[in-house]
């Protein structure tokens, strides 16, 4: 059955994953009781990129062979169905341990599908987390999720084309281009690129999808705005700061490449692209020493960057067997396990000690900017000029927030009135929160 705390916004997703959830629950066989009896824990994870999935499977095998007390049974679920499968599964039918995308954590905690980890995961593991992982795993002052890695968002450039256009290259947050400089540089770069366009903003990924929220919230945070505050969007999402910022963002369309080929930047048809650390292997292979990583433009309150990736949590189904669940998570979060995973997916190591040893993100390494950004991570309701990496809103109502905001972004990119679209999104969000009693815990 569905949780009685099921929020209205998730109902639309239930049908998508219901059959898969029932099938998976039947395979799990009710992990809470059986896990306690035979030392077996059920684990769900998403099927990501092939190298990442292979690394996880190997880590599970290592855990199982490292001792005889606990066996972890891993079930992989396609990423497209993963979140809806969890939404459609009652708490008692979930596995003992499950993976989740960071922005969904608060919703699952609110629906009583996660339990706090302070007494489950070792203190050493919790204390060793990088700031970004700690920030995005916390809800109501409790830790509900821990992550092996985090992600960074940045502005990648082709040094050869930047030099040809006579443009200085910023490499630290303090030197980020202003919006005026950024717009002027787009025009200069469009004149020297083979395509006649300057930048790829990921339009092909869909601004109405999560990509839009992830890549565009840094624009409004940098302008001094945010999406929601104290459970209210009115006067926040549709603020003058956000209207001005998204008007500027939409103006970049003139020099933006739709990148329908998916390879405009590595093919050197354009000079800039906004995307995450996971593209480093592809970009570095294509551009070599001409690849540069830069901070996103500064709209007046300092450059900002998004973060928050896949994390792990323990469900109520593990009751009576949380020691086994904790042992499994502690294994995943050792420096050795983290290093194996980030070698597969090029993500930012999630522990401070693994980060210090990283060949990509350590001091003086090619992706150090991402690590530096994450060291100053903060929440979206407490953004300061000194904070660079900002987590998307940690709220049980996040699905309705990103849905409404994404719809507004798509319309704005298409030429719609910015104020009108943000007003419409504001009404949708506030209506959802009102219908769900502000997502207040009982």
pTM surpassing 0.75?
A: yes
Rounded Cα distance, 119 and 26, in Å: 29
Q: What percent of the chain has pLDDT over 90?
A: 88
Asked if residue 162 and residue 88 are part of one domain, the reply reads no
Task: Indicate whether 348 belongs to any domain.
Answer: yes
Average confidence score pLDDT of the chain = 91
Q: Do 336 and 237 belong together in one domain?
A: no
Mean pLDDT of 59-72: 96
Domain shared by 325 and 219, yes or no: no
pLDDT for 133-166, tens place per residue? 999 999 999 999 999 999 999 999 999 999 999 9
More confident residue, 227 or 34: 227
Which is higher by pLDDT, 238 or 39?
A: 238
Same domain (yes/no): 346, 267: no
* pLDDT value of residue 48: 85
373 within a domain of the structure (yes/no): no
Q: What is the CATH number of the domain that holds 321?
A: 3.40.190.10
Rounded to an integer, what distance in angstroms lies between the CA atom of residue 67 and that of residue 69?
Answer: 6
Q: What is the mean pLDDT of residues 232-251?
A: 98
Same domain for 215 and 275, yes or no, is: yes
Helix/strand/coil for 254: helix
**Closest C-alpha among 191, 369, 372, 178 to residue 292:** 369
Structure tokens at 336: 């050795």
Confidence bin at 442 (pLDDT 50/70/90):
low
Q: Domain count of the chain?
A: 2
The H or E element containing residue 413 is helix 398-413
277 is in which domain, residue-wise? Answer: 153-307+397-439
What is the pLDDT averaged over residues 232-239?
Answer: 98
Same domain, 163 and 281: yes
Residues 332 and 227 placed together within one structural domain of the fold: no
CB-CB contact of 77 with 19 (8 Å): no
Residues 144 and 177 in one domain: no
131 and 214 in a single domain? The answer is no
> In terms of pLDDT, which residue wins out, 31 or 213?
213
Same domain, 297 and 196: yes
Domain presence at residue 193:
yes
> 146 is written with which tokens?
């821990």
Do residues 139 and 168 share a domain? no
pLDDT digits (tens, 9 = 90+) for 306-359: 999 999 999 999 999 999 999 999 999 999 999 999 999 999 999 999 999 999
Residues 157 and 17 in one domain: no
Contact predicate 407/208, CB 8 Å: yes
d(CA 100, CA 313): 8
Q: Is 376 within the bounds of a domain?
A: no
């Amino acid at each position: 059955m569905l949780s009685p705390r099921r929020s209205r916004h998730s109902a639309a997703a239930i049908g998508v994953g219901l059959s898969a959830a029932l099938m998976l629950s039947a395979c799990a066989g009710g992990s809470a009781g059986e896990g306690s009896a035979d030392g077996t824990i059920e684990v769900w994870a998403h099927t990501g990129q092939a190298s990442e999935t292979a690394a996880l499977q190997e880590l599970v095998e290592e855990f199982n062979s490292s001792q005889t007390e606990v066996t972890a049974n891993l079930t992989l679920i396609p990423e497209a169905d993963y979140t809806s499968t969890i939404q459609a599964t009652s708490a008692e039918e979930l596995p003992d341990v499950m993976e989740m995308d960071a922005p969904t954590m608060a919703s699952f905690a609110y629906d009583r599908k996660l339990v706090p980890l302070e007494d489950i995961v070792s203190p050493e593991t919790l204390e060793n987390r990088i700031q970004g992982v700690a920030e995005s795993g916390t809800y109501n002052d409790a830790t509900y999720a821990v992550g092996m890695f985090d992600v960074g968002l940045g502005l990648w450039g082709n040094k050869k084309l930047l030099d040809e256009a006579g443009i200085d290259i910023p490499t630290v947050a303090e030197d980020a281009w202003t919006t005026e400089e950024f717009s002027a540089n787009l025009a200069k770069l469009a004149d020297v690129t083979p395509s006649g366009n300057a930048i790829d903003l990921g339009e092909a990924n869909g601004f109405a999808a999560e990509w839009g929220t992830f890549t565009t919230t840094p624009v409004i945070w940098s302008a001094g705005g945010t999406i929601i505050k104290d459970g209210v969007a009115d006067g926040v999402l549709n603020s003058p700061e956000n209207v001005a910022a998204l008007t500027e963002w939409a103006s970049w369309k003139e020099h933006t490449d739709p990148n329908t080929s998916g390879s405009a930047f590595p093919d050197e048809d354009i000079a800039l692209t906004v995307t995450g650390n996971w593209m480093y292997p592809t970009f570095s292979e294509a551009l070599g020493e001409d690849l540069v990583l830069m901070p996103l433009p500064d709209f007046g309150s300092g450059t900002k960057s998004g973060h928050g990736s896949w994390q792990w949590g323990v469900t109520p189904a593990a009751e009576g067997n949380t020691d086994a669940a904790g042992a499994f998570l502690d294994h995943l979060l050792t420096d050795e396990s983290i290093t194996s995973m980030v070698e597969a997916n090029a993500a930012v190591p999630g522990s401070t000690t693994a980060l210090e040893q990283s060949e990509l993100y350590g001091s003086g390494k090619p992706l150090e900017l991402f690590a530096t950004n994450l060291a100053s991570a903060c929440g979206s309701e407490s953004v300061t000029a000194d904070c660079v990496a900002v987590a998307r809103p940690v709220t049980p109502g996040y699905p309705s927030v990103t849905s409404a905001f994404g719809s507004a972004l798509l319309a704005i990119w298409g030429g719609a009135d910015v104020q009108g679209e943000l007003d419409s999104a504001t009404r949708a969000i506030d209506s959802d929160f009102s219908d769900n009693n502000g997502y207040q815990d009982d």
